[in-house]
Amino acid sequence: MSLQQKIHDQSAIVGIVGMGYVGLPLARAFSDAGFAVMGFDVDPAKVQALNEGTNYLKHLGGDLVSGMCQTGRFEATADFDRLGEPDAVIVCVPTPLGNHLEPDLSYVENTAIAIAKTLRPGQLITLESTTYPRTTREIMLPRFEARGMTCGKDFYLAYSPEREDPGRKDHKTQTIPKLVGGIDPASGELAVELYRYAIQQVIPVSTAEVAEAAKLLENIYRAVNIALVNELKRVFTAMDIDVWEVIDAAATKPFGFQAFYPGPGLGGHCIPIDPFYLTWKAHEVGLPTRFIELAGQVNHEMPDYVVARAVSALNQHRKAVNGSRVLVLGLAYKPDVDDVRESPSFELIEKLRGLGAEVDYNDPHVAHTHTMRKYDLKMSSVELTAESLASYDAVVIATNHSAYDYQMIADHAKLIIDSRGAMRQITGSHDHIISA
């Protein structure tokens, strides 16, 4: 039976490599569409949790995994020798940056090597990891063709960028429009057909490169605009103007303006990373990306700005940062999720510690830190009470979780450095609140 026929009668097995923030909800989408799904991950603990029906990504809801398991059509495995079993393999692995802001495609490369070992005629491979244009064609395709098969005839290869936004309530995987571009027309058409069963709107583009570039444009657009308001925050703060009120005022215009908001730095799996993928590739072809690099510089300077504001505020209260007790509120990179990837809170903690401060954190969504590529803080969230707040010399608001009682924080903290505009609506004195 052809792959097209298997897709049409939903007998195709869908394999998803990487059971994280992208792969896990995608697995649920295909399971809900009636397909058998195999989830591949290198972490045995994740595999065990999934097969037991346990969801380790809290923002996705407790029944996401258990619902898949109850269908009898879902199985997780760490055995990559089984990659030949699925009819379609979707790759959702990390694409971080190296120590010098260069693309680290080791996860993509290792996954491509693993798929190539078991690649069989009739399989469709789709890459979803965010990367620079031509990754699918230059990194994945040669490894598959080395098996002696022809793309578009013996196997099929496409790119479809993930567009997940953890914690967002108004959209979910099934409702976010899906871009799909094939290495060749046949590959693109098959990938489009497959995704249409799980995603409400699938948008074909002419090539994998167009789809790769579109994802970068989406996140570079956000990074550049966030850099703009981060720079304006510093300027307006120096002028004693509330940047958040300025943004709200500008947003009353019904056209020609989209609101972006400043913060202590960039976090998450896309915006701090993706622009540098294009910058690196542009240098390879001899063209500068001055605008993108400037935005990156502005955003990367924001943790230093917040720390400098904290040091200055402590000094005004006759306190040296060395020996001060500082509480950082929010470890996640954005409100109301447990996602700490690339979170600027980690950098804030390390910088404050480097200046001699004793630093704790509180986050209602992140009970403990875990080992990451750049950080291993070995910290646990402390209790947030009126008494505990009063015991700190300064409180830094790094993430504006909705669970926080900001009035209580304002009433009991001695000094607040607010990098998110979270304290704008509190009543009473604002003299101890410093915008950062």
- Is there a common fold for 3-206 and 224-435? yes
Largest CA-CA distance found in the chain, in angstroms, rounded: 77
pLDDT mean over 162-181 = 88
The answer on pLDDT for 65 being more than 90 is: no
Using CA atoms, how far apart are residues 265 and 262, in angstroms rounded to an integer? Answer: 8
- Domain 224-435, CATH: 3.40.50.720
- Domains of the chain, by residue range, sit at 3-206, 224-435
Lowest model confidence (mean pLDDT) among 25-39, 52-66, 106-120, 405-419: 52-66
Using CA atoms, how far apart are residues 126 and 194, in angstroms rounded to an integer? Answer: 10
Catalytic residues: 270
Lowest model confidence (mean pLDDT) among 82-86, 112-116, 164-168, 376-380: 164-168
pLDDT mean over 224-253 = 96
169 — alpha (psi -120 to 50), left (phi > 0) or beta? alpha
Q: How confident is the model at residue 347 (pLDDT cuts 50, 70, 90)?
A: very high
What architecture is domain 3-206?
3-Layer(aba) Sandwich (3.40)
